Copies of this chain bind each other. A is one copy, B any other.
């Protein structure tokens, strides 16, 4: 089997590595519109060959590991594929992508969201085993042809992933609270601290919680602007919910209602039971 990976950054590069390492493809070809990234990926041995975009259409399975706005554009350029070619996307949003997929290729397009990553990006960020023991959310699979779904599922399972099925609309709603909101908060916290504090104090006191809470703020802005764009309304709603919680805490602290503040914190610690 020949696999093609479009986007040779953290997600695509790591996937290419694992496809080869686990003998899941005889050949892994890659494309990246950023020529420097393409050459880096080749030099790092992430892919066997870098090819022009048209050439990826010759693969048996094409993975789109690019920003979510790019996925929508690229799907429009993949309508003239053989109907045996499977397409898989790795976007962090799902509803707009699924809805934008041209009808002609909808049965062969598998909408996936692998729940993995690091705060780093680009080909040099690619690592082996990024997908192992992680969850992969597959959306609206009832719109897939079973042969294409199975081809994608087999690869994910062989990479060590646990499959979960979800409605695309539901996925985006949950992802707003559980993933996109935490990113928005982390960027806002990083900016608050960078504006108020000198680098020396940040270095000294970072272990007091800031290090964890600001890690996501190192995420690639181009990628995350696209995600926020595609999940705009859900994200705005989740920010409102969060602002209400923070306002409540602020009021309790301001009015020195310590017993109520403690109860509010105790509610949060029930998270222990889940994670």
Contacts and interface: CB of A to CB of B under 8 A. Distances in A.
A225 B262 CA distance: 6
Interface residues of A, dominant DSSP? helix
Interface in A223-262: 224-225, 228-229, 232, 235-236, 238-250, 253-254, 256, 258, 261-262
Nearest to A237: B196
Contacts of A214: 182, 268, 271, 275
Nearest to A171: B205
Given A175-B208, A202-B275, A212-B215, A264 B187 contact: yes
A182 B217 CA distance: 13
A218 to B, nearest CB: 6
A127 to B, nearest CB: 15
A35 interface: no
Work out how many copies of this chain go into the complex. 2
Contact of A216 (B178, B213, B249): B213
Contacts of A275: 202-203, 206, 210-211, 214
Contact of A232 (B137, B180, B256, B273): B256
A22 interface: no
Interface of A: 92, 115-117, 134-135, 137, 164, 166, 174-175, 177-197, 199, 201-219, 221-222, 224-225, 228-229, 232, 235-236, 238-250, 253-254, 256, 258, 261-262, 264-275
